[in-house]
Structure 1
Amino acid sequence: MSRHTPVRPVDVESLFPELLPFRRESVRLHPRPGAPTCKDSSVGGPLLWPFTEPWPVCREEHYDYTMNTTGRPEPAVPLVPIVQVHRADAPGVPFPEGTDLLQVLWCPYAHGEFCYPLPQVHWRDSSAVGGDVLPTPTPAAGLPEDWYPEPCVVHPEQVAEYPSRDLPDELYDVLRGRFDALLTETGLRYSHHLAEAPGIKLGGYPGWTQEPVWPDCEGCGSRMEHLLTVSSWEFDGESWRTWLPDEDRADENESGGRRWKGDAHNPAALCLGDAGGVYVFECRTCPERPAGHWFDCS
């Protein structure tokens, strides 16, 4: 079943024409529980990984909450699949020349000062993965299960976004009065209902929980571009009003008071910190396409 974000309840660009230069397109993946194969676009599903290429592992130090210490695990921990997306399912996302498949994995143990998952980005030509495919490893015992997704099929949809936390301060000052008037008149909060799409998505603006932290490329020094947001939830108690797909809406009698059907709120069974998110970035200036990341939560 396809997923369709409802038509915006107001014309954002007519109300706030100053936002037009900041419009970006993102691809909402709309993951839902399923049984994807290694040939499918998926969240948390098996990857199309060449049999001749070793599966990536994490050899970094991990934070152990039970011991309040850090240490390097032995043996090394296989990374877990997060997202696999074919170019055909990612309209508008700039794939490197000669590639048509994006694969993102990470180590779900806590790393570094802010205790974040550690992601890796791989681009490949799916037609070059001939012959046998390496089986996707079963997640190692003892991993924090809500730090990696359950297998989900995806229903990609391209939507328009506008910045909220990334809105320049001087422009926010210009628009604040109109934002407040819209809230008073319609109950629509610009940041929750009209700006960035929530959930797991490609491109657009990061779905920040805290203030923005855009990494710079270590090679060229330029600010990296947003590639992927992996959020704990697909929407929250406010944003569902405008971002919950039409196909997942339910009346109160069907859902016991909820406004959505089934697992639409948290289909991948994730809880990253205090319902936060991981943001993956890339430098599109450097030929090797280096990646960066950030993690935040409430």
Structure 2
Amino acid sequence: MAGPLLWPAEEPWPVRAAVHPNGTGHLLSDVRLRRRIQETARGREYTQDEQRLLDGMTQRGHAPDLQDDDPSPMLAVAQLYARDVPDLVGPEGHDLLQVFWCPFEVHGGHTADVVLKWRRSADVGAVLTPQPEPLVAGRAECVPTRCVVHPEQVVEHEYLGLLDEELQEEIAEWEEGLLDEDEEEEDGQGSSPPGSYATYEEYEAATAAARAEEPEETDYMSDLSIAPGWKVGGFASWHLTDPAPEDAER
């Protein structure tokens, strides 16, 4: 995730075409620095130096010399080899998929402008270094953290709103049946641990243990339908917008 990519030195890097307000958003360097500080300070208060750095990020400008219509490199998001991802199939002989996006969600709505590049990894000679990236992102969440992923194949089912009405009704009845079973199992048991405790820590530990014994609720959307997290293939989730047609030319 997030590069570096197996990108040929002689091949132009993808560049965004849309105009964006570069005076707003977040410097990529600030996004990464903030994440490093937060990770280092996990579980404790910020030091004075850390707080000073965080405060400085909110006060400085973004990219004052960068015009809104200046070309800007696309951001490297992912690099996937067909050998690592089951069912990832591209053009014949191509075994590597590279994913870029523009880190601004203003492309005809709250959507990202995505570029996909298939290539034959064996054909790549000298690799481009250093690799370009934009100075500014519209949202910090649009900047992935560099890491290695280990793909897992899972089974998922169609988004609930796209199923026929009869099947939706059957699923609703099934979920109601599960809730009724859970209520019968919990009847008379209560969720608060009985007894008295010498310290609050003992009470808190007993409460956590009691909650862990409670059955987890199961429903179609959360447990059987769209898999959470980053994924390749499968079904699309429409939980933000409801089902809508996609522009095939984009």
TM class by shorter chain equals 0.5 to 0.7
* Partner in structure 2 of residue 176 of structure 1: 172
1:122 is paired with a residue of what secondary structure?
strand
* Partner in structure 1 of residue 32 of structure 2: none
- Paired amino acid for 1:128: D
* Partner in structure 2 of residue 61 of structure 1: 19
Q: Deviations over 1:35-91 (max 9, x none)?
A: xxxxxxxx2121111111111111212256859xxxx72431110011110001110
Q: Deviations over 1:97-136 (max 9, x none)?
A: 1210111101112323414321111111111111233432
Determine what percentage of the aligned residue pairs are the same residue: 37
Residues 1:48 and 2:6 are matched in the alignment: yes
Q: Distance in 1 between matches of 2:21 and 2:176?
A: 43
Count of aligned residue pairs for this structure pair: 174
Q: Which moved more, 1:158-167 or 1:102-111?
A: 158-167
Superposed counterparts of 1:9-88, under 5 Å: 43-63=1-21, 73-88=68-83
Unaligned runs of 5+ in 1: 1-42, 219-291, 293-298
Give the TM-score normalised by the residue count of structure 2: 0.61
CA drift of 1:164 comes to: 3.1
CA drift of 1:216 comes to: 5.0
| Structure with the bigger percentage of helix | 2
Q: Deviations over 1:131-185 (max 9, x none)?
A: 2334322441465332120111101010111123332333212332113212433
**Aligned pair partner of 1:185 in 176, 181, 199:** 181
Residues 1:158 and 2:160 are matched in the alignment: no
After TM superposition, the runs of 4+ consecutive aligned structure 1 residues lying more than 4 A away are: 63-67
Unaligned runs of 5+ in 2: 26-66, 183-216
Give the TM-score normalised by the residue count of structure 1: 0.52
1:75 is paired with a residue of what secondary structure?
coil
Superposed counterparts of 1:104-143, under 5 Å: 104-141=99-136
- Paired amino acid for 1:169: E
Q: Distance in 1 between matches of 2:247 and 2:17?
A: 24
**Aligned pair partner of 2:226 in 178, 196, 204:** 196
- Paired amino acid for 1:178: W
- Paired amino acid for 1:88: R
Say which one has the larger Rg: 2
Q: RMSD value over aligned CA atoms?
A: 2.6
Structure 1 residues 168, 104: closer, same or farther in 2, change over 3 A?
farther
